[in-house]
Structure formats: structure tokens, C-alpha cells
Amino acid sequence: GITPGHFPVFSKPIYNLRSMGSGSGVLASFDDYERALSPGFFWVDLHEGDHFSTDVAVVDGQAVWSRYTKGYPLNEGTFDYWAVLPDDDQALKGYLYHFITENFPGYTGMMNFETIDGRIIEMHLRFADQWPDLYGDDFIPAVISLYQDQQWPTAIGEPQAGYSVVIFDAHRQYKKPGADFIDQVITDTGISSVQLSFHEDKPAELHSMPPGGFRVAIINSFDLDAAFKARDLITAEIKRING
């Protein structure tokens, strides 16, 4: 059981099926713990340090490919942007590859790990769906080969630095900018893609979002300044059409 010496701790869902860390947060005291106590949640040690999302391809229990994406957090589960790194993080790579070998013999497929300060905080039998275009054109065909043929290509192109810039706003209902506007932003700024990550016809409270904000859009680019420019344009348009 938890004792006063454990605090602060982090509370999160046992199964993150709805994603985005909905309902998660830091518990600073036993009083916080009692107020936050809910079915389906558990507490873990609070880690501080660099936050990474790592995608790994696994063949028969052996990791054969990985990419490392560093998150730049804001507050209460929100992020300013993520940077897809062109090089491996060697210490994290060794830790995760050993974990996979020890715990997933015979598994073939993709895995995603969330880590803070080099320790696993979440694990999924999938890859991150936020930035696959930043892995290059060969990535999706490689994933298809992994599941269809249980094989991973020996090379899928030279890794490039990429950036996934996020727009978080208040928790409320939103209308989406028009497709023509988004297409023009992509053309004018040279970014890779835009995802409007919500449903207009679904009540805001039914979207799974972190406590700190409602994720409105994801902007992927190989140029960080271009992504920030696109974010400014899209943010202004969202405010214009939503008041």
C-alpha cells in the first residue's frame, strides 16, 4: 500500500485505451490520493527528466529498428512539440532492447515505449500514430512487411530530424478550418502534414484529452520554424471561426 513517504506520485489509467493521459496527474499528498481515487487508475513513482516516445520494430522477440522522439512538455500532460531524432539514444536503446528480449520472446510487430529519465512509464503493442510521415516514405511499407511477412527491411532510408508541433487550447467544442485553408498552409509553409485531431460532431467532453488542454491540431514538418509558422496560422484561423 501507499505510505506518506511515497509522495509525490503520479496517478494514471491502468489501460490507456483512450490515450492522451486522460484523468492523469501528480498527487502531492495522501489527501490528493484519496480525492483522486477512482476505478481503473493506479499510482506510480513520479519521474522527472527527458521524456521520450520510442517506436521499435520487433521480429521474433528481437528489436531490429527504432526511432526516438523527444517531447517538450508544457503542463498537465500537454506538449509544445516533439522532436524526432536522426540518431539513436544509445543508453535508452540498450535498456529497451534488453527489456524486449527478456519479456517478449517470439513476438513480431511494432512496439511503442514512453519513457521519462530512461525508465518506462507506458508500453503499447503499436507505433505512435502522430508522426509516421516523419519516418520517411519507406516506413509504412516496412510495417506492412513486418505484419504480413514477419520481416523487416534491412534499410528504410536515412533518418532525418523531424518535428511534431501541437496546438492545445481550452476544453470546449470546436469547428475545423476548411480543407482548402489547410492545403494552403501546407503549400505556403512547406510542412509535411496537418492532423485536426478531434471530431466536430462529437461533444468535447467525449474526447480523451489530458487535463491541461484540448488537442486541436498536430503539425508535422522537417523544419521547426516552418511548423511554428503553420501553428500560428492555424491557431489564428481556429480562433476566427470558433470565436
Model confidence pLDDT, tens digit, residues 143-176: 999 999 999 998 888 899 999 999 998 888 999 9
Q: Model confidence over 92-142: pLDDT tens digits? A: 999 999 999 999 999 999 999 999 999 998 899 999 999 999 999 999 999
pLDDT of residue 191: 98
The pTM assigned to this predicted structure is 0.85
CA distance 150 to 164: 29
User: Residues 92, 130, 226, 199: is their CA dihedral positive or negative?
Assistant: negative
Please tell me the distance from the alpha carbon of residue 125 to that of residue 36, in angstroms, as a whole number: 28
pLDDT in the model for residue 106: 97
Nearest residue to 227 (alpha-carbon basis) of 176, 169, 163, 180: 163
Q: What span, in angstroms and rounded, lies between the C-alpha atoms of 78 and 62?
A: 32
Say what the alpha-carbon torsion angle 209, 215, 221, 225 is, to the nearest 10 degrees: -130
Per-residue model confidence (pLDDT) at position 209? 74
Q: What is the mean pLDDT of residues 46-50?
A: 81
pLDDT at 4: 72
Distance from C-alpha of 104 to C-alpha of 108, rounded to nearest angstrom: 9
Helix residue ranges per DSSP H, 104-212: 139-149, 179-189
Distance CA 220, CA 227 (A): 7
Write the CB contacts of 39 (distance below 8 Å, at least 6 apart in sequence): none
Question: Tell me, what amino acid is at 191?
Answer: I
18 against 109, higher pLDDT: 109
Q: Quick check: 44 and 25 in contact, CB under 8 A?
A: no
DSSP codes of every residue in 198-236: S-TTS-GGGS---TT-EEEEEEEES-HHHHHHHHHHHHH
**pLDDT tens digits, residue range 181-240?**
999 999 999 999 999 988 888 888 877 777 778 899 999 999 999 999 999 999 999 999
Determine the pLDDT at residue 149: 96
Is the pLDDT at 20 greater than 60? The verdict is no
Q: What is the pLDDT of residues 60-91, one digit of tens each?
A: 999 999 999 999 998 877 889 999 999 988 99
User: Quick check: 176 and 157 in contact, CB under 8 A?
Assistant: no
- Quote helix, strand, coil % in the chain, to nearest 5: 30, 30, 40
**Lowest mean pLDDT segment, chosen from 9-23, 31-45, 98-112, 139-153:** 9-23
What are the beta bridge partners of residue 12?
Answer: 42
Q: In angstroms, rounded to a whole number, what is the distance separating the alpha carbons of residues 210 and 21?
A: 5
